[in-house]
Structure 1
Amino acid sequence: MTELVSALPPDDQAELERARVLLESPGLAVQLANVIGTPIESLMRGLPGPASRLVDKAARKAVEVAFDAARRTLRDENAAAPSLRLHQVAVAGSGAVGGFFGLPGLLVELPVTTTTMLRSIADIARSEGAAPGEPDTRLDCLQVLALGGTRPDDDGAESGYFATRAALAQQVTAATRYVASGVGTGSAPAIVQLVNGIASRFSIPVTQKALAQAAPLVGAATGATLNLIFMRHFQSAARGHFIVRRLERVHGEVAVRAAYARLAGAARKR
Structure 2
Amino acid sequence: MPIPMNAEPNDGCEGAVKGAGENIVAVSPAALSPDDEVALRRAIGELRRESLAMRLTALIGRQIGFIGLMVPEPIAETINKTAESALRSAMGIALASLGDRSTRDRRGLHKSVATMAGAAGGAFGLAGLPIELPFTTTVMLRSIADIAKSEGEDLSDPDVALACLEVFALGSSGAANPIERGGALEAGYFALRSLLAKSVSQAARHLLDRGLSNQASPLLVRFIAQVSARFGVVVSQKLAAQSVPLIGAASGAAINYAFVDHFQTLARGHFTMRRLERIYGIVMVRAEFERLARQI
Q: Above 0.5 in TM-score? A: yes
Shift of 1:126: 0.7
| Identical columns (%) | 42
Q: Deviations over 1:79-126 (max 9, x none)?
A: 3x4101110111112112222111221121111100000000011111
Instruction: For 2:122, give the aligned amino acid.
Output: G
Whether 2:113 is the aligned partner of 1:90: answer yes
In terms of mean alpha carbon deviation, does 200-209 or 68-77 score higher?
68-77
After superposition, where does 1:14-93 map in structure 2 within 5 Å? 14-79=38-103, 81-93=104-116
- Structure 1: gaps spanning 5 or more residues: none
Look up the match of 2:128. Answer: 105
Look up the match of 1:146. Answer: 169
> Secondary structure of 2:154's match?
coil
The structure with more helix, counted as a fraction of residues: 1
- Structure 2: gaps spanning 5 or more residues: 1-10, 15-28
**The one of 231, 234, 248 aligned to 1:202:** 231
Q: Deviations over 1:169-189 (max 9, x none)?
A: 000000000001135411001
Check whether the contact 1:147–1:237 (CA below 8 A) recurs between aligned residues.
Answer: yes
> Secondary structure of 2:295's match?
helix
Look up the match of 1:187. Answer: 216
Check whether the contact 2:169–2:230 (CA below 8 A) recurs between aligned residues.
Answer: yes
Shift of 1:6: 6.8
> Secondary structure of 1:61's match?
helix
The alpha-carbon distance between structure 1 residues 126 and 101, as it changes in their structure 2 partners (threshold 3 A), is same
Check whether the contact 1:32–1:229 (CA below 8 A) recurs between aligned residues.
Answer: yes
Shift of 1:233: 0.6
Check whether the contact 1:66–1:118 (CA below 8 A) recurs between aligned residues.
Answer: yes
Structure 2 length normalisation: TM-score? 0.83
Instruction: For 1:19, give the aligned amino acid.
Output: A
The alpha-carbon distance between structure 1 residues 93 and 196, as it changes in their structure 2 partners (threshold 3 A), is same
**The one of 172, 191, 195 aligned to 1:167:** 195
Q: Distance in 2 between matches of 1:131 and 1:109?
A: 29
After superposition, where does 1:227-242 map in structure 2 within 5 Å? 227-242=256-271
Check whether the contact 2:56–2:241 (CA below 8 A) recurs between aligned residues.
Answer: yes
> Secondary structure of 1:182's match?
helix
Check whether the contact 2:13–2:280 (CA below 8 A) recurs between aligned residues.
Answer: no
The alpha-carbon distance between structure 1 residues 163 and 220, as it changes in their structure 2 partners (threshold 3 A), is same
Check whether the contact 2:12–2:284 (CA below 8 A) recurs between aligned residues.
Answer: no
Q: Distance in 1 between matches of 2:60 and 2:288?
A: 38
Look up the match of 2:280. Answer: 251
In terms of mean alpha carbon deviation, does 27-36 or 14-23 score higher?
27-36
Q: Deviations over 1:171-225 (max 9, x none)?
A: 0000000001135411001100100111111112111101001111135443322
Structure 1 length normalisation: TM-score? 0.91
**The one of 131, 149, 160 aligned to 1:126:** 149
Let me know the Cα RMSD of the aligned residues: 2.2
Whether 2:205 is the aligned partner of 1:177: answer yes
